[in-house]
């Protein structure tokens, strides 16, 4: 069974994808074999939490438009492949592009910095904003 996570603005397969991985309002988990969809609310709105959610639902792949270094590192550590989709498309279109091998593999972070992708908040005595260069 193959499960793919798609970062979404709404909990509807025809809704637009979210622009950024960690800030997605919803995560659509699509079972590509039986074409079933689950929608998970992203309460934490950060990359690490989204990776944990995606991993706990046994996803092998994640589709997004933009992702930071920290979230991409967490995806790779979990063995989840990342795929970059064009912005302003629906979740359904992203899945179709995935199935037709039309997405680019996410080898590097993309887009503007949004979160604390360097995971610096975990460093003892450091302020996340200064550590991340913000």
Q: Cα separations (Å) of 76 from 11, 70, 84? A: 26, 10, 14
77: tokens are 């550590």
Which pLDDT value is given to residue 35?
Answer: 87
What pTM did the predictor assign? 0.81
* Mean pLDDT value of segment 37-48: 93
Set out the domains of the chain in order of their start, with CATH numbers: 3-131 (3.30.420.130)
DSSP state of 79: T
78: tokens are 């979990």
pLDDT in tens, 62-117: 999 999 999 999 999 999 999 999 989 999 999 999 999 999 999 888 755 544 44
């Amino acid at each position: 069974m193959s499960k793919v996570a798609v970062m979404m603005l709404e909990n509807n397969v025809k809704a637009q994808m979210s622009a950024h991985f960690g800030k997605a309002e919803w995560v659509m988990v699509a079972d590509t074999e039986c074409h079933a969809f689950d929608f998970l609310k992203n309460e934490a709105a950060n990359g690490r939490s989204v990776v944990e959610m995606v991993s706990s639902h046994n996803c092998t792949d994640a589709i997004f438009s933009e992702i930071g270094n920290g979230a991409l590192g967490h995806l790779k550590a979990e063995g989840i492949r990342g795929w970059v989709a064009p912005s302003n498309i629906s979740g359904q279109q992203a899945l179709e592009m995935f199935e037709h091998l039309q997405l680019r593999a996410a080898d590097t972070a993309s887009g503007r910095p949004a979160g604390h992708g360097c995971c610096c908040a975990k460093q003892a005595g450091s302020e996340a904003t200064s550590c991340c260069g913000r």
